[in-house]
A and B are shown apart, each in its own frame.
Chain A
Amino acid sequence: MQQSTPSPEPIVSLRDVQKSFGPLRVLDGVSFAVERGEVLAMIGRSGSGKSTALRCIDRFEKVDGGEIVVCGHRVDRPDVDLRALRQDVGIVFQSYNLFPHLTIEQNITLAPCAVKGMATSQAKDLARKVLAQVGLEEKLLAYPEQLSGGQQQRAAIARSLAMQPKVMLFDEVTSALDPELTAEVLRVIEQLAADGMTMVMVTHEMGFAKGIADRIVFMHRGKVHETGPASILTSPTTPELTQFVGTGNLKS
């Protein structure tokens, strides 16, 4: 199933994905694809289904219908190898979710050692490398609570990077941060994009999405309402996106 050679198939593809929470239809036929090296930003109002769609990619939500293929894994199937899928996919959450009882180094080395069987010394080198990538080398031995929110989020990104994922998912990773801390996290994500990482992000930072995304998916009522290059943010075609970007979202 897993291919290491570059393939023409998209890294992530969703086709007609359906998902309901009880009577509430959250995803109503969502389709989009992400090519290798592409950055896709999902935007939309709260409750439009963008976070749910993102979580379906890593199977934190099971879909009711449709097809999801991620790095060759059929995520919509009940027999999908979850651990293989999650070695290919990195996910970063709004609330960082660093493990509070472990140092930053231990947070990062845990999964490479436990999941991939990496030797401790090699994992420690890796931890230093990924922390340098997010500008936190000096925090190796600190505990999460000793870090600011922005630093914690960058450490969480480093932790995901240490698993060398083929695609990274970002679920509103700056929503809990003030503008200054948001900026430092966004700089890290920009660098990842420049390095060619395939990324799917749910974000409320319109200016950032416009600057970094190869493609925008605007979600509205569980559907992909409008999609296209970042320019759709400045010249939207649907009245809903016009209203959404017009409500003061497109600043900075």
Chain B
Amino acid sequence: MSLQLDFPAVLERWPSLLGGAALTLELAFFATVLGALFGTLAAVGRSSQSSLIAGACKVYVESIRNTPLLVQIFLVYFGLASLGLKLSAFTVAVAALTINVGAYTAEIMRAGFEAIPRGQIEAAEGLALSRLQIYWHIILLPAIEKVYPALTSQFVLLMLASSVCSQISAEELTAVANYIQSDTYRAFEAYIIVAVLYIALSLVMRAGFWGLGLVLFPRRRRLGTPL
């Protein structure tokens, strides 16, 4: 048996490959920003004094964490369509990925919130700060700092998982690979190249999170010690 790899046949499609990679990164960016917001709110909601809010957040987190992403994407895709909403595949993909990563983010952020010593909150209460001010000034950043590596991994995973959005014909990286291989019959080469591109995208995201960390955690930047 002989293996003959013809990379140029795939690489000559570099504009579509780059376009796919850009779209994947875009999907990941929006879903990360929105999912971080959404998940943080859900984590706060889970410790709400209102059992209705706490219960709703719990149902959301648990139902998302116990169903496959592809099924969630189809639910959003066909669900919105049957409601008569005509949205682009990109919008549906961002919505589904946000809902998905929001649930995982909620669990990670909850761990971060729970790691804040009770005394920190008492000290803030003693200074007459409001509940919202305590979350904003005292809890949020230290909580994020404590779980930052886990958050980074989760959002990189999200970017990789966005490949299933090819199923609703969002023109992201994996969809481009599918298209190229059916056109050129160079499946192995196409997926090798796409895998390498995913690795590159992961590195870009990790670098982005590292840079964001420098901005978010000035104490760590100056002292180099974990919180």
Instruction: Name 16 extra pairs, CB < 8 A, besides A82-B128, A99-B137.
Output: A83-B128, A84-B128, A86-B126, A90-B126, A91-B126, A97-B122, A98-B123, A99-B120, A99-B123, A99-B138, A101-B141, A102-B219, A111-B128, A143-B219, A160-B126, A160-B127
Q: Which residue of A lies closest to B118 (CB)?
A: A97
Could you say which of A86, A145, A156 contacts B225, with CB atoms under 8 Å apart?
A145
Could you say which of B126, B133, B141, B142 contacts A114, with CB atoms under 8 Å apart?
B133
Does B122 contact A114, Cβ atoms closer than 8 Å?
Answer: no
Q: Does A30 sit within 8 A of B, measured CB to CB?
A: no
Q: Does A227 sit within 8 A of B, measured CB to CB?
A: no
Expressed in whole angstroms, the minimum distance between the Cβ of A112 and any Cβ of chain B is: 9
Residues from 96 to 110 in A contacting B, C-beta threshold 8 Å: 97-103, 110
With A101-B142, A101-B217, A146-B223 as given contacts, are A86 and B119 in contact (CB-CB < 8 Å)?
no
Q: How many residues of B contact A (CB 8 A)?
A: 24
- Chain A residues within CB distance 8 Å of chain B: 58, 60, 82-84, 86-87, 89-91, 93, 95, 97-103, 110-111, 114-115, 143, 145-146, 156, 159-160, 163
Q: Compute how far the CA of A156 lies from the CA of B120 in the bound complex, rounded to whole angstroms.
A: 12
Does B119 contact A97, Cβ atoms closer than 8 Å?
Answer: yes
Q: Compute how far the CA of A119 lies from the CA of B221 in the bound complex, rounded to whole angstroms.
A: 27
| Residue of B123, B125, B217, B225 contacting most chain A CB atoms (<10 Å) | B123
CB neighbours (8 Å) of A145 from chain B are 223, 225
Q: Compute how far the CA of A93 lies from the CA of B65 in the bound complex, rounded to whole angstroms.
A: 40
Expressed in whole angstroms, the minimum distance between the Cβ of A84 and any Cβ of chain B is: 8
Q: Does B82 sit within 8 A of A, measured CB to CB?
A: no
Residues from 178 to 227 in B contacting A, C-beta threshold 8 Å: 217, 219, 222-223, 225, 227
With A100-B219, A101-B141, A145-B225 as given contacts, are A83 and B130 in contact (CB-CB < 8 Å)?
yes
